[in-house]
Amino acid sequence: MRYTERVRKFIIENFTEDNIILGVIMKNLYDVIVVGAGAAGLTAAATALKYNKRVAIFDLGSTPARKVRASGGGNCNITNDAVKYDKYHGKNQNFVRGALSRFTPDDVKHWASQHKLKLIQKTPGRYFCDNGADAVVAALMNDVRGADIFLNQHIDNITKQDNLFHLGKCVGRTVVIATGGISFPTLGVSDAGYKIAKSFGHKIVPLRPALGPLVITDWDAKLAGITVDAEIKIEKSVVRDSLLFTHSGIGGPAAYRASLYDIGNGITIDLAPNTDVFEQLKNAKQQNGKKSVSGILGEIIPDRLAKYAVQNDTRHIADIKDADLREIAKRVNEIRIPGNKIRHHGMSAAEVVRGGVDTDQISSKTMESKLCPGLFLAGEILDIAGDLGGFNLHWAWASGFVAGINAAAVAQEF
């Protein structure tokens, strides 16, 4: 049955004065309805528009792409040359492979070039927008010219009847849910997308903060402010990056990246990666016996950390037993923190969310729901969280692109 015939049948069965109502419905009829005007949603909408589809975009806030504006400290870490499936976390890490293969870092760079956005690398392979995040948002909004945009919308319910989706007064052939996660609550985020997904039978993997600081019980606040290159081991995984000691635990890139993992079994911190501190101390004991241990350690790690590691022991290193030196070395190379003493700081300090819509119920090739044909999901609402460094924005671009192409293709079938 062709689409217009299907609509006419629906009206005749449910309304009187069908010709008048048909005109009203056709005015509010869209090929693709996108819920969420963030990176993934705007990319999906722009992609569908390229296929000459009629598109509506709904967002609960007054300003589109709020997280994009805040990303990268206002410079928008737009992509990373290291984009690969193993940079992502979730119940099914392999889920991202299809989308990442279809929309690569080179595609992002090409898009930026088309919009005259100058990209710079602050570290090798990690791209920021030299024009600022607002310029990225302006480019995204330029791409969705032609779509009807509805801001400040309260959306927590979408229904489907006779193969058509109903959102308020609007009717859609397909819907893309791209409402993001619930991190950054100050930006006006919502759990509406999870509610909509659940209403269509989708499971939600429990949500928790990620890419944020970690709180450690009985932490010594005197260490606050110290920054050191460190390695954090989480079972078989290892993260190496800059670590910041805070008043309540640890922060900085190393802690943020470690927070992506399941830390229930604890973590081990090495404050001097690739340095066998015990061997260094033993050698110093033979060669510089009159030096203090903290003086020797101060050549390896910051002085404040060195004094903390030796617990203010001022003896000459020659006067300290090897067994005691080994214990001191462990306080540098092997700081073990059990899982029951660690907790995430909270959604307010998290950049992304771990958990979300279970990817087992989503096609990795199309981003379409396996439970509800015509329903697509993209971006952070899914149980996918990327590493620090532009990986989450890239996932938004890639999954939004794939969802937009396939939503347009399904709409074409009507």
The confidence band for 8, taking pLDDT boundaries of 50, 70 and 90, is low
Query: Which of 133-142, 162-171, 185-194, 272-281 is least confident?
Result: 185-194
Residue with more model confidence, 257 or 24: 257
Question: How many Å apart are CA 351 and CA 339, to the nearest integer?
Answer: 22
Please check the confidence at residue 23 and state whether its pLDDT lies above 80. Answer: no
Please check the confidence at residue 78 and state whether its pLDDT lies above 80. Answer: yes
| Mean pLDDT estimate for the chain | 92
Q: What is the pLDDT of residue 190?
A: 84
Decide yes or no: CATH 3.50.50.60 for domain 3-209+350-412: yes
Look-up of token digits 């020797």: 296
Please check the confidence at residue 25 and state whether its pLDDT lies above 60. Answer: no
Which residues, 6 or more positions from 17, have their beta carbon under 8 angstroms from its beta carbon? none
Residue 59 vs residues 78, 152, 297, 322: alpha-carbon distances, Å: 22, 6, 54, 64
Please check the confidence at residue 103 and state whether its pLDDT lies above 80. Answer: yes
Question: Among 101, 48, 61, which Cα is nearest to 190's?
Answer: 61
| CATH number, span 213-345 | 1.10.8.260
Q: What is the pLDDT of residue 271?
A: 97
Query: Which of 2-16, 102-116, 315-329 is least confident?
Result: 2-16
Locate the domains of the chain by residue range.
3-209+350-412, 213-345
Report pLDDT digits (tens) over 171-220. 999 999 999 998 877 777 889 999 999 999 999 999 999 999 999 998 88
- DSSP letter at 118 equals P
pTM (two decimals): 0.91
Q: What is the pLDDT of residue 14?
A: 55
Residue 95 vs residues 124, 195, 268: alpha-carbon distances, Å: 26, 22, 29
Query: Which of 301-305, 308-312, 401-405 is least confident?
Result: 308-312
Please check the confidence at residue 399 and state whether its pLDDT lies above 60. Answer: yes
